[in-house]
Amino acid sequence: MIWEQRVHVIVMITNLVERGRRKCDMYWPKEGTATYGQIDVTLVKEEVRANYTLRQMRVKHRKLKKKKWICSEREVNQFHYTGWPDHGTPEATLPVLSFIRKSVASNPEDGGPIIVHCSAGVGRTGTYIVIDAMMKQAAAKNEMNIFGFLKHIRSQRNHLVQTEEQYIFLHDALVEFLASGDTEVALEDISDHILSLAQPVSDFEPMTRLEKQYSNVVTFSPSEYDIIAARKSYNETKNRAHDLVPIEIAKVGLTPKPCIEGSDYINASWLQGYEKLKEFIVTQHPSTETRDAFWSMLWDHNAQTVVLLSPVDNQELNVFWPGHNEEYDQECFRVRFIEEQIHEGHSTLDFVVSSRYDDYELKVRMIRCAGWPHSSSPLYKVLDVVNLVQEWHLEYQNGPLVVVDRFGGTEAATFCALTTLKKQIDAENRVDVYQVCKLYHNKRPGIWRSQDDYLYIYRVLESLAGCIEGETANCLISDTENLIERRHSRL
């Protein structure tokens, strides 16, 4: 079918196994080449991202002889969405909208239809098709007929959009599409995009595009149910800031201790990165009360890299690690200091966390960068720490990257956002600041204090773009730094 219909794009919205049941056969080679009847399929490359995996394959018909007017092989891209549960919906709409845009855009003009499938080919498949069709209808006619279109395609295949939850989700996705539009920007266009953010939304809407984007970013306001654990009386004192606490769906859990209420709680949240849904843990500077919980979190989640952005003042922000010739003993493990190294702009502290019951050890490196990002000047220097941490953390991909600031707030979120966006630049030469910032707010409301925090990320990336394009020569010419500042002053 793929060969005969001239297919270049496959959209797969299921995992091979879900809820313990086999949902789909692996119809592509894990590596190398596999033969299916008269078709040879070669896996060229595979790129794993937080919400989906992209596989590039080469499909060749074995029986066709090479002739000038006949092509015997073709490239096929498979977009495999991995974060969409069976009979359910994803947590967020933005990654789905981005996934649909990218998969549709990869189909060449002379390509055949896009193949879309899930497990039964109705629920998630139909949701994808309706969202794509309605985005195109809105662009072409400035209107949407969701009910009419779904009723029509259900006459072609029964049960498309299988549940009420999926029907609601596609409406939510289209509301987000209408509110935000396409927010992904090519790196070379980022300066123009920043200038456009200062413009009014329309002649009838005086607020600027920046104000509207930021308003959309921080729309979500958690209910008491969303933060029920953080508001328990026995957990209240563990929170440095009343308005920066983890919501239930993103809460980092600890192994509970028998008969101790709140022993499974720490003020820490999961944030997604470019490659993993749980790539970062953002948390506050541990207090005397929460120090043991912090080390338990590293132990429970196999976290081997900690980025400490808060200073130590020995008053409110204490040292929470053992010093020379010291150990922290806990019920299941002990923490031992190894060494400290001082570098320009940062220092590293190495520890070993060892089990009290067997030979297992967890090596932990803490990278201290107090005052980041404001201690970095000019702006492109902000990314030096991001790159430094990634170079070290690449050796320890199994565990999350733990990022700490005073409250588990803006500085930590900025670090995670720039890490994610830098990876997107390296892979795609594009960035989606809006998507990353909104996803982070939805997982930890309150991390962005003002639209200046949001704009700051754009400005750092603009500075990076200037370096890449050679606008700043060797990034040390003061005239160009002044040029960057003049651009921002126009905002």
Span 126-167, pLDDT tens digits: 999 999 999 999 999 999 999 999 999 999 999 999 999 999
Q: Is the pLDDT of residue 70 over 80?
A: no
Q: Which residues contact 377 (CB under 8 A, 6 or more apart)?
A: none
Note the pLDDT tens digit of each residue in 313-337.
878 899 999 998 889 998 889 999 9
Q: Which of 118, 369, 416, 437 is catalytic?
A: 118
- Domain pair 9-180 / 236-489, same fold: yes
In terms of pLDDT, which residue wins out, 485 or 82? 82
DSSP bridge pairs for 283: 268, 404
Which among 24, 65, 53, 58 has a CA at the least distance from the CA of 39?
58
At residue 308 the predicted structure's pLDDT band, cuts being 50, 70 and 90, is: very high
Residues 94/438, Cβ–Cβ less than 8 Å: yes
Q: Indicate if 118 belongs to the active site.
A: yes
pTM greater than 0.75: yes
CATH for 9-180, options being 3.90.190.10, 3.50.50.60, 3.30.360.10, 1.10.490.10: 3.90.190.10
At residue 23 the predicted structure's pLDDT band, cuts being 50, 70 and 90, is: very high
At residue 380 the predicted structure's pLDDT band, cuts being 50, 70 and 90, is: confident
Note the pLDDT tens digit of each residue in 113-129.
999 999 999 999 999 99
**pLDDT averaged over the chain?**
91
Spans of all domains in the chain? 9-180, 236-489
Q: Is the pLDDT of residue 209 over 50?
A: yes
Percent share of the chain, pLDDT over 70: 93
At residue 367 the predicted structure's pLDDT band, cuts being 50, 70 and 90, is: very high
Q: What is the pLDDT of residue 417?
A: 98
CATH for 236-489, options being 3.30.2010.10, 3.90.190.10, 3.30.56.10, 2.40.50.100: 3.90.190.10
At residue 63 the predicted structure's pLDDT band, cuts being 50, 70 and 90, is: confident
For the segment 272-286, the average pLDDT, to the nearest whole number, is 96
